[in-house]
Amino acid sequence: MTSQIQKPLPLIGDKFPELKVQTTHGPKNLPKDYAGKWFILFSHPADFTPVCTTEFVAFQKRYQQFRELNTELIGLSIDQVFSHIKWVEWIKEKMGEEIEYPVIADDRGTVADQLGLVHPGKGTNTVRAVFIVDPHGTIRAFLYYPQELGRNIDEIVRMVKGLQTSDKHGVAIPANWPENELLKDRVIIPPASDQETARKRVKQYDNYDWWFCHKEL
C-alpha cells in the first residue's frame, strides 16, 4: 500500500493557489476573479447540517458589511453543486435568507486537498476553515475550527477591518480592537528598531514605554 503524499498547507504570506472551481454562480478562477478585492473562502463540513446552516445565515446577514470592506465571500464543501443549490433554496424557504454569495462544489475533493481542508478522522468532511485573502491574492490570515464549533462571524469582520487598517496606516492592532481594555479603539505604533527612534517615540506618541506607543487614527 503506497502512502499518499500530502501537499504542504498554504501559510500566511503565501499566494493563494490558482484554482478553477465550479460554484453555484458558475465556474470561477481563484484568486484571479477576485483581483482588486479581498475575499474570504470558508469551508463547511456538509450541506443540510444544523451548525453549517447557522453559519451560512450568519455570513449572509453580514454580507453587506463585508461588501463595504471591498470583501467578497465564497463557501466550499465536498458536495455536488446540486446539493448546494437545493440547500441554498431550503435556507431561503425555511430561514428567509437568500444566500447571495457563491458556494464551491468540491465533490472530488481536489480543492480541499490543495488547501488542507479534509477533517482528520471525519471521512470526506471538510473542516470549518477560513482563508482571508487580500486584493493581491496573498493569504493574510486563516482559521481552523473543529466540526462541533460554529464560527464567530463578527470576529471575521473584525479581522478584515483590522488587516485593512494595519495596511492603510502602518500600525498594529491590539486585542479585542476596537474595544481593547487598555487602548479602546487606538492603534499601536510598531516598536522602534534603533535607540534614536526609541528616544523619539516617547516624545511623539502616547505610550507606556518606548516599545509600547499608541495613537488615535
- The candidate with the shortest Cα–Cα distance to 88, out of 121, 61, 48, 50, is 48
d(C-alpha 102, C-alpha 31), whole Å:
14
Q: 30, 41, 52, 118: which one is catalytic?
A: 52
Residues 6+ apart with CB under 8 A from 104: 21, 22, 23, 28, 41, 74, 75, 76, 77, 111
Could you confirm whether 52 is annotated as catalytic?
Answer: yes
The residue written with cell numbers 484571479 in the block is 32
Residues 6+ apart with CB under 8 A from 130: 40, 41, 42, 141, 142, 143, 145, 151, 156
Instruction: Encode burial over 8-22: b for 16+ CB neighbours within 10 A, e otherwise.
Output: eebeeeeebeebebb
Task: Specify whether the CB–CB gap between 133 and 40 falls below 8 A.
Answer: yes
Task: Specify whether the CB–CB gap between 141 and 167 falls below 8 A.
Answer: no
Residue 183 C-alpha cell reads as 487602548
Query: Catalytic amino acids?
Result: 52
